[in-house]
A = this chain, B = another copy of it.
Amino acid sequence: MADVIYMQVLADLKHRIYSNEFPDKKLPDERSLSESYGVSRSSIKRALNILAAQGIIFKKRGSGTFVNPLYLKNQPIFHNEGSNLGVTDSYQLGGQAPTIKLLNFQVVPANDDLQQALFLDEGDFVYQIERLRILDGVPFMIETGFIPIKVLPELSTDKVEGSIFNYVEETKKKAVTKSFMSVMAEPSNAADQELLQLTAYEPVGIMEGIFFLDDGTPFEVSTMRINYKYMKYNAFVSLDAE
């Protein structure tokens, strides 16, 4: 993984947890870990704090550090952890990487909602990108995204057939690191049923979000309509520091 110490410790601990190396759900104490990894306790704490923020472990002062049993039980198809924002990249975990079928790609004027969300002015334009995501041959998500043309003026058809986030990170050296998401559910409509191979009794999960670059620039507004069987959004919420 990354070459910093706490990331190495993080990756190793994660691996040990997934390998069920702590069947009693209790991790060694921080001072022992510090010694066995040969790093400072601060670095251990840093790794543990991230795992705790991801909901993988939890700590009890005076007692120790424990694996979150629900996390292992709920081996999610879909989760907001690791190197994604709770969205499409996470589908790569099980099975094959998803493929993309481009449904629609055009430039349109930003409406009021988009202007607000993407911090645009009257008359600004956005790309409208509709894509169908397919996992192991099964279409599971209809994704409609809006990206300001001034953020990515050189976008083209072939580029939107791959990961736009990766494209941005490679060419702009700016990572997409923040998002504001809403998760909902709805009965499937006719288009959902056709594209996602659903019956009228089967619903879609909906994830709507605004994505930001690491410098705070709003980058994309996206709506994902997901076959309900494929949607499981995991979130760890902590009110500690507010």
Binding site for B on A (CB under 8 A): 7, 10, 25, 49-50, 53-55, 58-61, 63, 66, 68-71, 73-74, 76-78, 80-86, 113, 116-117, 119, 175, 177-187, 200-205, 209-210, 212, 214-218, 221, 228, 231-242
Q: Say whether A228 contacts B7, CB under 8 Å.
A: no
A-B contact pairs, 14 of them (CB 8 A): A59-B216, A70-B180, A70-B209, A70-B210, A77-B180, A80-B237, A85-B239, A181-B235, A181-B237, A182-B235, A187-B228, A203-B203, A214-B240, A235-B237
Number of copies: 2
Q: Say whether A180 contacts B83, CB under 8 Å.
A: no
Q: Say whether B77 contacts A182, CB under 8 Å.
A: no
Which DSSP category, helix, strand, loop or mixed, fits chain A's interface?
mixed
**Besides A49-B241, A183-B232, 12 other A-B contacts (C-beta < 8 A):** A10-B241, A54-B242, A60-B215, A70-B116, A73-B117, A78-B180, A178-B238, A180-B236, A182-B232, A185-B185, A187-B202, A203-B228
